[in-house]
Homo-oligomer: A and B are copies of this chain.
């Protein structure tokens, strides 16, 4: 039996205290994806974001509106009300709100009382995504949106989908920053056995964490081999960069080519995947995904094939993270521990960053302790 002994456990717990996990508060002052742009319409869309109930809709001119999903009067869900022009009328007693959350009409009162209202949230619609700022609105600077130009670019072909993740968002960020799991969790989809053993290097910045892994030479699984024309090639290169760009946004970038060809003759096929995580509750998460490629842009069969294959693989992550959440859920806190290895470097740094962002003081105290 090699259960960690008491001194080891104490050291592990000390380290863990500085790392975000499922119990860590949310980080509010960030842009998060509220919805795919396609899903916001003239139909009221209720959604729980960072623990808060929000209702989303479009004004008549198409602007996205995000309000607290509870009437100012008796807290009835506004999403059960109805739109009249740009205003939202509560389905309980008919209180009417404008797009800023101000109450502008109370049917039982001839004159609308002053100062009744609900929170409205800053939103930015950009390409396929609607971003929302759930924190201090004074800090909602559009310049803080993570770089994402390719998401709307014409020279990339996109495909999108989403999941309700029954897991905290920290675990999913960690999943994305350690792609050695491709050889195991995704053994039947886009992983290959050599992936986990490939050389890697990492980059740890201020709120930016990346892991680079070059799998060369390799044989690509069908999901990548078929669209890139590298079927049967056992000298393929799979050059991966996995980037934590913000608490809301992880991007995976992969280049594929035949490593036997001289650099000048290589045809490099690029794919990117935006993994967009918006906590719903402490133990569940909206998981939006936009996938893109820079080749075979007009080939719908390739789009359909890759979408189907990829989302089958992403489902494995979704199932795996839910299973992991259950371990945390059902294990006594004082028996829980994690042991890290070299490949976890960026992930541990990322979790420390999330912890420090979420609980600046607690984090400092613990480091100095």
Contacts and interface: CB of A to CB of B under 8 A. Distances in A.
Contacts of A93: 178, 180-181, 184, 196
A331 B185 contact: no
A332 interface: yes
B73 A1 contact: no
Nearest to A184: B94
Interface string A180-218: 110111000000000011001000000000000000000
Nearest to A121: B1
A139 interface: no
15 contacts: A1-B137, A2-B117, A2-B118, A52-B331, A70-B331, A73-B340, A75-B324, A75-B328, A75-B337, A90-B184, A91-B320, A92-B184, A93-B181, A107-B197, A108-B343
Contacts of A323: 76-77, 80
Contact of A101 (B3, B100, B341): B3
Interface in A75-109: 75-77, 80-81, 89-94, 100-103, 106-109
Q: Which of A90, A107, A120 has the most CB of B within 10 A?
A: A107
Interface string A39-78: 0000000001001110000000000000011101111110
A339 interface: yes
Q: Which of A8, A336, A343 has the most CB of B within 10 A?
A: A343
Contacts of A117: 1-4
A108 to B, nearest CB: 4
Given A80-B323, A116-B341, 20 more contacts: A3-B101, A3-B117, A3-B120, A4-B115, A4-B117, A70-B331, A76-B320, A76-B324, A77-B324, A77-B326, A81-B184, A92-B181, A92-B184, A92-B185, A94-B180, A94-B181, A107-B197, A108-B341, A109-B343, A116-B339
Contacts of A296: none
A264 interface: no
Interface string A319-357: 010011011101110011111111110000000000000
A186 to B, nearest CB: 10
Contacts of A339: 72-73, 116
Contact of A53 (B53, B89, B196, B327): B327
Contacts of A335: 52
A73 B102 CA distance: 50
A113 B340 CA distance: 10
Contacts of A52: 331, 335
